[in-house]
Structure 1
Amino acid sequence: MRYKGIICLILGIGGSIVSCNDDWDEHYSRNGSIPEVSLMDMILNDSQLTKFSQILMKTGADSLLTSTQTYTVWAPVDEALSSVDMDDEAALQRMVKNHIARYSNSTATEVGKSIYMLDGKVMSYESADVFNGISIVQKDILAQNGILHKLNDTIPYRYNFWEYISTQENYSKIYDFINQFSEKIYVSGGSNKKDSVFKDYNRLLQNYYYGIGWIHDEDSVYTMILPDNEAWDKAYEQVSPYFKVYNADEAVADSITKVQTGQAIVYGLTFGGRITDPGSADTLVTVTGNVIRSTKDYFAGYRQELASNGLMFLADGNLHLDDTCVWNQPIIVEGEDLDRRLVTASGTSAYVRDVDGTSVVKGISENSYLEVSGSSLNPGVTFDIPNVLATKYDIYVDFVPPAIDGNSRATEKTCLSYKMKVEQENGRTKYENRQGKNDEELIVGGDSVGDVYMKTVKVWSAYQFPTSDFYDAMWYLDEGNADKVNEISPKTTLEIKTNVTNAELNVKYVRRFRIDRIRFVPAKNN
């Protein structure tokens, strides 16, 4: 078999090495030569491929198949192309690129091995007679610049997620929202003396930070819910009230609401991997890290279709959203967080205390808390509350009981007052106060010796915030805002201080308390 080495070398042009088997050798050693004809000429001279040859010439692909580059063509016979619209140039271009790959790919190629078509789609042989689900009627026809296989049908063109929403008119609203973040960025080190090199970039189309995934990448596999325009509009109506903001310029306020609402919607749509039955999972985690618990309801009623890079669940008319799983999550501020607190009363001492497994009080968040004390004046601390939405919250403060300092202090107690700063719809500030000597909920401590349970005070129930004070991911990812992060001053604050008179000091109350954390929990009656 003296041509074995020659054929293997040709099939390996461009770095793709194809194994040679006995059937391959026998087929091409009968006449002792490789046909001196290009793939295009071979297709033109095949009476079963007249329609495909016309499509190749109409799309300009004929020049590729007459070049010295090596290609593999999977050509549908005429019967398979009888219904093709020859006037739909975009569809013809998609079909051609879906049937041609670089390099030589014989049927001796390993079953399941990824073959990249000209459009980037990944396909493979399922056997020597089946390619990407389509039967091969004649295989391994060798040309001077590659290999021709004839198929009994066209290979279905499968959109990736990005292609689907960019080409389907009824999905234009989700496309327009994501596409607004598309830009050209300079590629460092990718320029020469004459030309600058730029690449397409979209902050949302990433799989890290706050991106929804590389849904435009054929090598990345996802499961994604795609809302049509009607579903998008209904979702926007449901979500946008949470992101109602005040700005002296109403156009700016509307723009902020639109961007933040759109992000809240898309952050609940993409899941890693191909999930054929998502409703059967106990929980699912989105690409952005949100945990979806009621998966059966979340995916109910959607149409499932294959994408080239995963599975699409098409939401026709309605999108099932779970606010507390995606955008309306609890806000937690740890007492020991230095960046979130400010001593607001003269003479106040505030110290971070750490605990370990031997602590008599269990369940302290992050194993640290803040101890606040003072004797001459009522000591107080004010906490910044970030990313409050225009919705209702139950507001809690978790306190560490005095028993943390031993039996001698286990029964001491203090009376507290709270003052919360809230932005109104007109941009003005309003203060909400809660204090009083007769409200037992405001009394912290006084536990019996050995009582080591955390003390939780519910300061407000279902408090409605008129406006949102939220900084979204796209804002943080904007390089222009990198230096502004430390300048952010939340519009919502909560001050906690003792409410103890001099007469009560050390007789009834002490001026000392210990804060584990503050929690703004979305109210259930929202």
Structure 2
Amino acid sequence: MSHFKYKYLFIGLLLVVVASACKKQWDQRNAITDQQLNVNLLQQIQANPNLSTFAGYLAKIGYDKLLSSTKTFTVWAPTNAALQGIDPAIVSDTARLHKFVANHIANQTYLTGNIQGSLRVRNLNGKNLTFTTTTVEDANITLANQYVNNGVLHIIDKALPVKMNISEFVRGLTTVGLLQQAYVLRQDTSFIDTSKATVASIDPKTGKPILVAGTGVVTQNKYFNKTGALANEDSLYTYFVLTDNAYNAERAKVSKYFATVTNSTDTTMNLLSAFNVLKDVVVRGVYTSANLPATLKSVNGVTVPIDKTAIVQTFNASNGIVYVMSSMNFNVAEKITPIIIQGESASFFTRTDQGGKIAIRARKELDGTTVYRDLLISGSGLPASFFAGYKLSNLNTCQYKVIIRAVNDTLFTKVPMNTTNPALNQSISERVMFGQITAAPVVAGNVTPTTAVNFPYTSITPYNYNELTLTNATTGTVTANSTLNMANGTLNVTKYSSIFMYVQGAATTAANTNDVLVDYIKLIPVLQ
């Protein structure tokens, strides 16, 4: 036999040996896999004597049939030792036991090898658990990835209690935070969602459905809608509950800025001041005690000051973490903030027949990069004292400095020329006025609106990109006003309310001398 024949014979024998070895390994693998695939989750649990208590719970609530089905599940099964400390009241109450057991089971298959970092898993009771390669919540996985024909089993060393979400925790407070709890409960509202209601019949006269009484009722919480979805299991928040003393202290700091027309304690303290405090105790994300910084930012961007020595209780919720605080010293300057009114957002104008002279412009800043929008009212035949009106809602009770920003880049030649002060040439002269809302504003003809506080006409010089602080306000045509007056040359709001603001052009009809121009008006509160 030639050298080449021996060579090819040797290679062939080698391939046969390798193939035979691979086949044996594959057969062994298939044998293990086939054996596992002949077992379902219930059988796998029942075969382990260390899981007999959990198996008994499954049978008691009917989940033995569920885990014998063809549907796929992941089960985190606590050992008998892990279940020794469970509250007997849970075991004796079928509904509570059902929620407890369901907290250990999820739809679909979750293997530890597929996790990078951590994974939030929705369980059969609607709660989410944090799953890592070695733990689920604070339980250790002692035996992982027991793969069977309808899912995977992980054995854990602790039971997984059903946690309340943040909303449930706040609603269930019994000893601390009762004033905060009372505010939250008062914000519950209910309405009928016809799409969720049961239709009893159809009204033959109107053709509209007649609903079964008590069906389709949906409850929402106005506070949660404005701050955070604290009842949502898929959200993650850090939430702060203030003790009654801390809550009262923070409300007292801001209550002076919410004086109402009726001086109602309930409105001022329990509604307006309360929301001003509680809107900023909600923080997105979870900050455990180990990584809790000295300050956080609330969902509204306000600094949340955190003194760890003031933490009197910590609660791990299903959708975050709650700290009960004996104090939380908010900065009032971040709670009572400036109001900015954009010029292009006017509510009404002197007359409705001058639309062709009203323009909303897109302009570039001096550096040419940032674009802003402003309002320009200009053109031949523009009536004298033409104004843009704005409805301002919910001004705090305090004095306000008034600032205007208007960039005069029109380069109109003013007539007549100012020979005494040439610097005023090509300027726009306009003023800002404020009036209390008592009736619909006058928006026809050339009538000046009734005002309580007037700022003098201000010269808007060409190409000045800076803000101008308006000074020396005077009283307007309303001498006795229950909401507005002038104090120290500033706008003074004496009752928490809504008002009208006007930006008015010069009292002349000469072309291009009575323009109205505004980027924004800023009202800066003077805090005391």
- In 1: Cα distance, 2:40 partner to 2:287 partner: 47
TM-score under structure 2 normalisation?
0.63
Q: 2:400 aligns with which of 388, 393, 397?
A: 393
Q: How many angstroms does 1:230 deviate by?
A: 3.7
Q: 1:310 aligns with which of 311, 314, 320?
A: 320
2:176 corresponds to 1:168: no
**Contact conserved, 1:385 with 1:493, CA < 8 A, in 2?**
yes
2:490 corresponds to 1:467: no
Q: 2:105 aligns with which of 101, 105, 114?
A: 101
**Contact conserved, 1:166 with 1:172, CA < 8 A, in 2?**
no
Task: State how 1:142-221 maps to structure 2 within 5 Å.
Answer: 150-155=155-160, 158-169=163-174, 170-179=176-185, 180-183=187-190, 185-188=192-195, 191=198, 198=216, 200-204=218-222, 211-221=226-236
The one-letter code matched in structure 2 to 1:215 is L
Q: 2:435 aligns with which of 421, 437, 440?
A: 421
- In 2: Cα distance, 1:335 partner to 1:33 partner: 73
Tell me, which stretches of 5 or more residues in structure 1 are unaligned? 1-20, 425-429, 436-440, 470-489
2:270 corresponds to 1:258: yes
Partner of 1:237: 252
Q: 1:319 aligns with which of 294, 306, 328?
A: 328
Change (3 A) 1:516 1:79: same
The one-letter code matched in structure 1 to 2:495 is T
Tell me, which stretches of 5 or more residues in structure 2 are unaligned? 1-26, 202-210, 418-423, 439-449, 474-488
Partner of 1:333: 341
Cα deviation code 1:363-397 (max 9, x no counterpart):
99514333499899665665433331222311233
Change (3 A) 1:258 1:402: same
- In 2: Cα distance, 1:53 partner to 1:47 partner: 10
Change (3 A) 1:85 1:411: same
Q: Which has the larger radius of gyration?
A: 2
- In 1: Cα distance, 2:383 partner to 2:226 partner: 52
The one-letter code matched in structure 1 to 2:276 is A
The one-letter code matched in structure 2 to 1:62 is K
Change (3 A) 1:78 1:496: same
**Contact conserved, 1:135 with 1:152, CA < 8 A, in 2?**
yes
Match of 1:135, SS?
strand
Cα deviation code 1:172-228 (max 9, x no counterpart):
44444334324254251774668855264415477xxx5323222222233433434
- In 2: Cα distance, 1:217 partner to 1:264 partner: 23
Match of 1:29, SS?
helix
Change (3 A) 1:322 1:522: farther
Q: How many angstroms does 1:151 deviate by?
A: 3.1
Change (3 A) 1:147 1:246: same
Change (3 A) 1:465 1:46: same
TM-score under structure 1 normalisation?
0.63
**Contact conserved, 2:378 with 2:515, CA < 8 A, in 1?**
yes
Match of 2:495, SS?
coil
2:419 corresponds to 1:411: no
- In 2: Cα distance, 1:360 partner to 1:38 partner: 75
- In 2: Cα distance, 1:36 partner to 1:403 partner: 78
Partner of 1:291: 301
**Contact conserved, 2:188 with 2:221, CA < 8 A, in 1?**
yes
Identical aligned residues as a percent? 13
The two structures, once aligned, show a CA RMSD in angstroms of 5.3
